[in-house]
Amino acid sequence: MTVRAIVPPATLGILGGGQLGRYAVMAAASMGYRTIVLDPDPSAPAGLLAHEHLVAADDDPDALRRLSFSCDVITTEFENPPAAALDELAASVVVAPSPAAVRIAQDRVAEKRFLGENGFPVGRYQVLEGDDPVVDEALVESGAIVKTARFGYDGKGQRSVSGVAETLAAWAELGGVACVVEERLALETELSVIVGRTPSGDVEAWPVAENRHVDGILDVSAVPAMVSPKLADRAVGLAMAIVDALAYVGVLAVELFVVDGELLVNELAPRPHNSGHWTLDASVTSQYEQQVRAVCGLGLGSTAMTTPAIAMVNLLGDLWEGGDPDWTVVLDDPNAKLHLYGKHEARPGRKMGHLTVTAPATNLAVARALELRAAVAP
C-alpha cells in the first residue's frame, strides 16, 4: 500500500505535553514541521517548545475541533487520550497510532486479551470486575499484584497482595474498578523493545534495552541488554510480531519480563518510551524522529547505535530534596549528556530529567551513570 507522505511544513498535533511530547516536538521542529500540543497544564514541558499550546482538557470539544482543523496528522505521547476523542479526530484527520490500537494498549484487560488471543506469552492473571468477583486462590496464594486496568503508570494504581482476602481488599481500595491480578513473578531481569512501523508496514526496532525499576518506576535503562543474543533476538521478534498484529503506525514500546530464561510480555505503550530516551544520544535515529517519520508516512530512519553501549538513569524529584543538584560533574564529562525537562516543581517520584553515559560496554556505562547521579545530589 502506498500512502501519501505528510511532509514539512505540515502541522503535527500531539496529545499530551510531557517530556515524551517535548522531544517529539523538538524532532518535528528540526525537520521543519509545525507542532501543536494539547495539554491542560500551562507549563507542560512540550507546550513550552511547541509552535502552539492548546491549554485545555484532553476531551475539550473546542480544542479538539481546533486540532482537527489545524493539523495534518495527530499522534499521542501518553497512554490515556480518551478513545472517543481519538475517534472524533480520526473522522477528519490522520490519527496515528489508530484509536483501535491505543484502546488496546491503554487498558490492561484489553491488552492481555489481545496478547493471549494472538499467541503472545503473558504471565498468569485474572480479571477482577463486577460486583462480587471470585478470586483464583491458586493465582494469589504466593504473592500477586492487583493493577487497575486503566490509568496506571510508574507503579501507580497497583497493590502488592498475598491471598484472597488481601486481593479483594486491594481491589476495593482501588475503587472496585476493572483490574487485573497478576501472579508475582520472580524476574531475572526486565527488557524493552521499541519499534517503529509505517502505514505501509515497514518495521524497525532498536537494540534491546535492559531495565531496572525501583518502586515501580524506571530507574536505569542500558543498551545493549546484558542477555544472550538469542534471547535479545527473540525479544525483537516478539515486538515486531506484536506491532504487525496491531497494524500499528508510529512508535510502540513492548515491556518484557525474563522469567526462567523465557520472555513474557508485561505491557505495551503506544508511544515513545522512557527506556528509549537513550536513542537521542546513541542512535542514528531517535525514537522521537522515528515517531514523526512513521506517523507522517516517511521512510524509517536507521536504528543503528552510534556507540558500543549507553546507559540512562532517571532524575526524579527526590534528587532535589536538599536543594538544587549541582550538574557540573555531569556537564564536565565528555561522555555524559544531561537532559532536564523544564519542570518547575520537583515532587518525589516525578520525572524531572535523565542523564546518559556512553561507554565501551554496558556495565561500564551503567556504573558511570549511577556514579554521576550520586555525585549531583546536594
Nearest-angstrom CA–CA distance, 323 and 277: 26
Nearest-angstrom CA–CA distance, 239 and 115: 11
Q: Which is nearer to Mg ion, 53 or 147 (CB)?
A: 147
Nearest-angstrom CA–CA distance, 222 and 208: 9
CB of 218 vs ligand ADP, minimal distance in Å: 7
Binding-site partner at residue 154 among Mg ion, ligand ADP, none, CB < 5 to 8 Å by type: ligand ADP
The three grid cell numbers given for residue 183, joined into one nine-digit string: 501472579
Nearest-angstrom CA–CA distance, 132 and 129: 8
Report yes or no: 277 and 322 within 8 Å, Cβ to Cβ. no
Does 105 sit near ligand ADP (CB under 6 A)?
no
Q: Which is nearer to ligand ADP, 65 or 347 (CB)?
A: 347
From the list 48, 185, 240, 367, which residue makes contact with ligand ADP (rule: CB under 6 A)? 185
Q: Which is nearer to Mg ion, 121 or 133 (CB)?
A: 121
**Stretch 70-99: interaction string toward ligand ADP, x if CB under 6 A:** ------------------------------
Which bin fits 170, alpha (ψ -120 to 50), beta or left (φ > 0)? Answer: alpha
Radius of gyration of the chain (CA): 20
From the list 111, 204, 255, 281, which residue makes contact with ligand ADP (rule: CB under 6 A)? 255
Does 47 sit near ligand ADP (CB under 6 A)?
no
Q: Site size for ligand ADP, by CB under 6 A?
A: 17
Binding-site partner at residue 176 among ligand ADP, Mg ion, none, CB < 5 to 8 Å by type: none
Does 121 sit near ligand ADP (CB under 6 A)?
no
Stretch that binds ligand ADP, among 14-22, 97-105, 144-152, 325-333 (CB under 6 A): 144-152
From the list 32, 137, 151, 153, which residue makes contact with ligand ADP (rule: CB under 6 A)? 153
Residues 6+ apart with CB under 8 A from 254: 192, 193, 194, 195, 235, 238, 239, 242, 265, 268
CB of 81 vs ligand ADP, minimal distance in Å: 16
Does 107 sit near ligand ADP (CB under 6 A)?
no
Stretch that binds ligand ADP, among 87-95, 184-192, 198-206, 313-321 (CB under 6 A): 184-192
Angstrom CA distances, 263 to 70, 175, 206, 257, stand at 43, 32, 17, 6
- Residues forming the site for ligand ADP (CB under 6 A): 123, 145, 147, 152-155, 182, 184-185, 187, 190, 213, 216, 255, 266-267
